[in-house]
């Protein structure tokens, strides 16, 4: 089902738009209320998911903590931060486009039928830092137990996230009904075609530049490097999973590297945490949505704060279609002021664009492996 998720979402949105005149008001209210309830449940469990995934990541990396692992982690953070910062400038530029301002109708009969107010068990920032710190401490004191716990966590969290992905179409459907009732669906379709193009051009231009720089500015080596990763990129586009495409990514990275063993180690270590496609797509979508909903552009300080949490949260992204946006929803809400409608919209847009995002992630991981290979050859052999 996962690889067909964009098509399912497209079909859901089209069905609601086309059948809107024939859908009874009480059904629309029910769908909208279900979406709000799902959103409340997701927001409640996300801190626990983030904590669990970061605990697993910290445990896994700490168990093999050598200089090369430290170098990889530092460069992953730098790469994610730079690409997210750059996407912020592009998003700010897109913010000043003549996007239609979404103004909901003052009078709407689409009220929710019930309300679920679930408690916040733990804040997201505490979950992030707690998962990292606890994972490192336990892995140092009880290494084997930490590995066993991380394996159990991986199974449980995967089941929860898979369930969330299955209900995403229902989550999106209710808010599409609300947006259609507010008369803004047509504006969104018109405006976001250009945003898709901007994101695609930004992603692949940046990745191509990285390949070119680490190909010693030689076009032939650059073209060969892209060619070696092309099968993995096609796999990422069709499966929407960087993890599923990992064998092909490793093969391509090995062909591009002098140190084959190092390339073979870098890809598995970074496949779920170095996500250039996400770093461009999510912030640019966020800026466009802020403009569309008539909200103020974030200040530089606000965006830098968002970027810091965004980069940290990348270590908790699950390797499933849509996983990149699910764990980012609380950060978008707390640091960019997203409301329920906006979170539903960015979820739908992200999943619709997920094949391209994953393709960019795969190519970006190949470029990162090439960068590590170049750095290791300059610094000398690392243990």
Q: What angle do CA 201, 352, 343 make, to 5 degrees?
A: 100
- Higher pLDDT residue, 63 or 94? 94
* pLDDT over 90 percentage in the chain: 21
Whole-angstrom CA distances from 278 to 120, 273, 365 are 26, 10, 12
Average pLDDT for the chain: 81
pLDDT at residue 251, as a whole number? 86
In tens, the pLDDT along 208-246 reads 999 999 988 889 999 999 999 988 888 788 667 777 687
Q: Which residue has the tokens 């190519």?
A: 363
Under 8 Å CB-to-CB from 186, ≥6 apart: which residues? none
Q: Are 350 and 324 within 8 A, CB to CB?
A: yes
Q: How confident is the model at residue 14 (pLDDT cuts 50, 70, 90)?
A: confident
Q: Provide the Cα torsion 97, 98, 104, 106; round to 10°.
A: 130
Whether the CB-CB separation of 292 and 100 falls below 8 Å is answered with yes
Long-range contacts of 133-139 (CB under 8 A, 24+ apart): 133/58, 134/55, 134/58, 135/54, 135/55, 135/56, 135/57, 135/58, 135/59, 135/62, 136/58, 136/59, 136/62, 138/59, 139/58, 139/59, 139/62, 139/63
Structural domains of the chain ordered from first start = 2-379 (1.10.3860)
Per-residue model confidence (pLDDT) at position 106: 47
Is pLDDT larger for residue 107 or for residue 127? 127
Dist CA 316 CA 328 (whole Å)? 10
* pTM, to two decimals: 0.77
Residue-level pLDDT at 63: 56
Is 61 a residue whose pLDDT tops 70? no
* pLDDT the model gives residue 102: 60
How confident is the model over 277-334, as pLDDT tens digits? 999 999 999 999 998 888 899 999 999 999 999 998 887 765 555 667 888 888 898 8
pLDDT in tens, 140-176: 888 888 888 888 887 887 788 778 777 878 877 887 8
Q: Which of 107-121, 256-270, 290-304 bottoms out in mean pLDDT, i.e. has the lowest?
A: 107-121
Tokens at 47, concatenated: 């801190």
Give CA–CA dist 52/379, Å, rounded. Answer: 35
What pLDDT, on the 0 to 100 scale, is given for residue 155? Answer: 84
Q: What percent of the chain has pLDDT over 70?
A: 85
| Model pLDDT for residues 171-195, shown as the tens digit of each residue | 778 878 887 877 766 666 677 888 8
Cβ atoms < 10 Å from Cβ of 63: 16
**DSSP per residue over 60-90, as a string?**
HHHHT--HHHHHHHHHHHHHHHHHHHHHHHH
């Amino acid at each position: 089902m996962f690889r067909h998720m964009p098509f399912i979402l497209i079909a859901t949105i089209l069905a609601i738009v086309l059948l809107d005149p024939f859908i009874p008001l009480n059904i629309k209210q029910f769908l909208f209320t279900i979406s709000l309830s799902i959103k409340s449940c997701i927001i409640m469990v996300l801190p626990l998911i983030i904590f669990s995934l970061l605990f697993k990541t910290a445990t896994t990396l700490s168990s093999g903590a050598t200089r090369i692992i430290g170098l990889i982690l530092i460069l992953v953070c730098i790469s994610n931060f730079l690409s997210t910062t750059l996407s912020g400038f592009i998003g700010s530029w897109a913010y000043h486009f003549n996007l239609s301002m979404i103004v909901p109708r003052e009078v709407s009969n689409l009220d929710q039928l019930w309300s679920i107010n679930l408690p916040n068990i733990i804040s997201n920032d505490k979950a992030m830092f707690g998962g990292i710190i606890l994972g490192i401490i336990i892995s140092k004191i009880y290494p084997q137990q930490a590995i066993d716990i991380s394996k159990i966590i991986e199974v449980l969290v995967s089941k929860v996230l898979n369930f969330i992905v299955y209900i995403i179409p229902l989550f999106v459907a209710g808010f599409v009904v609300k947006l259609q009732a507010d008369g803004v669906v047509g504006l969104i379709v018109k405006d976001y075609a250009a945003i898709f193009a901007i994101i695609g051009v930004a992603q692949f231009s940046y990745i191509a530049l990285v390949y070119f720089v680490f190909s010693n500015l030689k076009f032939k080596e650059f073209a060969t490097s892209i060619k070696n990763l092309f099968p993995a990129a096609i796999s990422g586009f069709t499966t929407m999973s960087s993890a599923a495409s990992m064998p092909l990514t490793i093969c391509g990275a090995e062909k591009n590297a002098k140190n084959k063993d190092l390339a073979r180690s870098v890809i598995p270590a970074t496949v779920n945490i170095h996500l250039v496609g996400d770093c461009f797509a999510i912030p640019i979508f966020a800026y466009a949505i802020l403009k569309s909903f008539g909200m103020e552009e974030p200040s530089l300080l606000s965006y830098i704060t968002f970027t810091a949490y965004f980069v940290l949260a990348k270590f908790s992204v699950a390797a499933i279609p849509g996983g990149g946006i699910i764990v980012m929803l609380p950060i978008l809400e707390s640091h960019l002021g997203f409301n329920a409608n906006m979170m539903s919209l960015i979820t739908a847009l992200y999943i619709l664009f997920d094949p391209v995002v994953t393709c960019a992630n795969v190519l970006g991981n190949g470029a990162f492996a090439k960068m590590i290979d170049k750095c290791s050859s300059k610094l000398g052999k690392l243990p």
